[in-house]
């Protein structure tokens, strides 16, 4: 219900002295509270000052240690690892293009001419980009040497921001599993390989392998979809020339 003021009613004047006393009282109370809080904080700091100093020193030493490690150990080690990797990688490239590849792959793995091989680099330069790349090259070397278990072990350790290398590593693991008679695992890695990157170099290759292996495992519908995906998305790939037969075969099952 609305409340109306009566006509002619006088307004009361505020009592300035009372208001002033209230403001002063409130201000004093606030300052007393702040003084009390500050006193408690000082007591707390005084009580735990040794612990606080230890924590500060530990943090400072940790930061300095990290910067020292980064600048004087990690960075030089990273550069050194690249130099060692180049020689091992040279043997690897020779092996890829040679008729006597086995001996060259072994030299790439174990080193030669006083230089480290991939296995030495993995052991001595762990945590560096070159050390990580050595896992990939070691895995591929073992794959070419038909040592499929070691190929899987080293390729599985490889991690990279390079999506194509990631795809190739997963696809190579699939190849290794296929060779040791584990088709389900091989199929899963082929799928992971083309899902890792849709580039026209590796994707159609692993789509085709996943389709062929999937069809053998009874995954007819998904295999058919993989073959059709090659036809629609990668028409210029070599695999696109092979899928028509597979599409027809699966559609007539």
| Range in 16-20, 168-172, 177-181, 195-199 with the lowest mean pLDDT | 16-20
DSSP state of 236: T
Residue matched to tokens 């890695």: 189
Length of the chain, please? 253
Rounded Cα distance between 101 and 143, Å, is 12
Task: State pLDDT tens for residues 152-174.
Answer: 999 999 998 889 999 999 999 99
Q: How many CA atoms lie within 13 A of 51 on its CB side?
A: 5
Answer yes or no: are the C-beta atoms of 172 and 184 closer than 8 Å.
no
Joined together, the tokens standing for residue 158 give: 């490889």
Query: In the structure, how many helices (H) and strands (E) does the chain have?
Result: 11, 0
Task: State pLDDT tens for residues 207-236.
Answer: 999 999 999 999 999 999 999 999 999 999
Rounded Cα distance between 237 and 203, Å, is 10
Q: Give the model's pLDDT for residue 12.
A: 45
Task: State pLDDT tens for residues 201-215.
Answer: 999 999 999 999 999
Rounded Cα distance between 210 and 232, Å, is 16
Nearest to 91, CA basis, from 121, 65, 67, 113: 113
Q: Give the model's pLDDT for residue 19.
A: 45
Q: What is the pTM of this model?
A: 0.71
Task: State pLDDT tens for residues 101-146.
Answer: 999 999 999 998 888 999 999 999 888 888 999 999 999 999 999 9
Nearest to 227, CA basis, from 199, 237, 117, 217: 237
């Amino acid at each position: 219900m609305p409340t109306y003021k009566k006509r002619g009613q006088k307004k009361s004047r505020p009592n300035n002295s009372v208001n002033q006393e209230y403001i002063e009282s409130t201000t004093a109370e606030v300052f007393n509270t702040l003084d009390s809080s500050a006193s408690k904080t000082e007591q707390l700091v005084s009580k735990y000052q040794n612990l606080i100093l230890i924590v500060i020193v530990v943090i400072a030493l940790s930061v300095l240690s990290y910067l020292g490690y980064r600048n004087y150990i990690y960075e030089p080690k990273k550069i050194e690892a690249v130099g060692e990797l180049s020689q091992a990688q040279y043997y690897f490239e020779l092996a890829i293009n040679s008729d006597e590849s086995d001996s060259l792959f072994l030299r790439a793995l174990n080193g030669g001419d006083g230089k480290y091989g991939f296995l030495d680099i993995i052991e001595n330069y762990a945590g560096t980009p070159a050390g990580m790349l050595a896992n990939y090259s070691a895995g591929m070397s073992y794959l070419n040497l038909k040592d499929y278990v070691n190929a899987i072990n080293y390729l599985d350790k490889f991690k990279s921001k390079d999506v194509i290398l990631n795809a190739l590593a997963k696809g190579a693991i699939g190849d290794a599993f296929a060779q040791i008679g584990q088709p389900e695992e091989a199929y899963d890695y082929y799928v992971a390989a083309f899902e890792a990157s849709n580039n026209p170099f590796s994707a159609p290759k692993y789509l085709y392998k996943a389709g062929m292996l999937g069809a053998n495992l009874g995954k007819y519908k998904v295999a058919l979809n993989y073959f059709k995906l090659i036809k629609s998305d990668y028409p210029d790939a070599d695999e696109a020339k092979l899928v028509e037969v597979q599409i027809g075969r699966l559609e007539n099952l």
